[in-house]
Amino acid sequence: MLAELQRGARERVVSRRAGLTTNYAVAHAVKAVDVDVVAVYPITPQTTIVEKIAEFIHGGELRAELIHVESEHSALSAAVGAAAAGARTFTATSSQGLEYMHEVLHIASGLRLPIVMAVPTRALSAPISIHNDYSDIMNARDTGWAILIASTAQEAYDTVIQAYRIAEHPDVQLPVMMAYDGYLMSHTLEPVELYHEEHVRGFVPRRDRRNVLDVRSPITLGAFATPDNYYEFKYQQEVALRNVEGVLREVEADFAARFGASYGPVEAYRLEDADYALVTYGGAATGNARMAVDMARERGIRAGLLRVRLYRPFPSAPIVAALAGVKAFAVIDRAIAYGSPAPGPLYKDVATALYMEGLTVPGISVVHGIGQRAMYVEDFYGVIRMLAEGAGTGKVLFLGLRE
């Protein structure tokens, strides 16, 4: 019944089905939500997003001000200024660009500015790599931004639209970062259903009631906070970020009703009766893990997949619920948390979430796809086999490493 309703809704809202890279899908979403100010600096693999936005402005399809600033530090700073002045603001970057923005990431979240940023992820220097992994995002995970990780071009398009509703929600008022695989998604074509823009604008209306810089009602943003009140600002920021999971569910319910699609904070695949689970994020790792799960099922191993879409705030409850019943799990990380108790950043979060609920499900930390090292379905199938053969907590795997 719901599925039929959703199909009906979709037919009404979809304007056309196009072959788009995820970067272009993001640019289409930015146009659809009618942003006011875009501030960027070129970096591979982000650049084609802003090229497309420039084309939209040139063609009169988007009335937005675009500034090509002199660095990523300036890009996010200009976005901070624009958002502080009340504009709907967008920026995008990758890799070193996100690193260079780092101190401004804290300014944007501390000032509670609803900026949306797209991050086609990329490995970090040194040595130089332009290829994909998630090291850049992982360094930004504790900056107070909401972080969502998309796994398809369609999801990235939908997520940017949802991101403005979440960011501008009165219980949130925080910046949102939307990440996805650089190159593997940013530069590969997928079918994407684009919506009539009046529907998108109806979904993301300008109801932003924030305090903005306005001479008629002057305020100061970011003024000095003494030890008597600094802590309260930071506590409120933590509370607001934790509100994101509930707000996301609320926003997605409305999105599902209007556009016939929803994703949730996490997505499960064949997990209901699974003995062994793979936990992933992003496009390539998730796609390969899905095929590995199918391969295991064909061979009689009850495997399932949990994809984490909302990374910050960390959706502990659905993750714990999904993993509580499995015999063992493996978290596939596409970044290295150097010198940590386990090398996988997501693994550490999952393990902490389970521990906080008093659960000790055996789980292993797997690192793969660093600097876009090829990840094979067989690699992930091998992990499931290992779990089935009794590999448990304490095991660490660096898959795909040359011997």
Name every residue whose Cβ is closer than 8 Å to that of residue 126 and which is 6 or more positions away in sequence. none
CB of 74 to another protein, least distance (A): 9
Under rule CB under 8 A, how many of the chain's residues touch another protein?
21
CB of 130 to another protein, least distance (A): 9
Q: What phi and psi values does residue 384 have, to the nearest 5 degrees? A: -60, -40
- Measured CA to CA, the distance from residue 2 to residue 22 in angstroms comes to 28
Helices vs strands, H then E, count in the chain: 15, 15
Q: List the interface residues with another protein, window 74-103 (CB under 8 A).
A: 96, 100
Nearer to another protein, 78 or 320 (CB): 78
Using CB under 8 A as the criterion, what x/- string covers residues 299-338 for binding another protein? ----------------------------------------
Nearer to another protein, 70 or 298 (CB): 70
- The candidate with the shortest Cα–Cα distance to 353, out of 303, 318, 304, is 318
Q: List the interface residues with another protein, window 9-68 (CB under 8 A).
A: 41-44, 47, 50-51, 54-55, 57-58, 68
Nearer to another protein, 93 or 162 (CB): 93
Nearer to another protein, 17 or 58 (CB): 58
- The candidate with the shortest Cα–Cα distance to 185, out of 166, 163, 217, 157, is 157
CB of 72 to another protein, least distance (A): 8
CB of 75 to another protein, least distance (A): 10
Among 5, 17, 71, 225, the residue binding another protein under the rule CB under 8 A is: 71
Please give the single-letter amino acid code of residue 382: G
Sign of CA dihedral 275, 281, 286, 289: negative
Nearer to another protein, 139 or 316 (CB): 139
Nearer to another protein, 125 or 352 (CB): 125
SS3 130: coil
E strand map for 201-244: none
128 binds another protein (CB under 8 A): yes
Annotate 5-71 with DSSP letters as a single string. HHHHHHHHHEEEEEEEEHHHHHHHHHHHTT-SEEEE---TTTHHHHHHHHHHHHTTS---EEEE-SS
Residues of this chain that interact with another protein (CB under 8 A) are: 41-44, 47, 50-51, 54-55, 57-58, 68, 70-72, 96, 100, 125-128
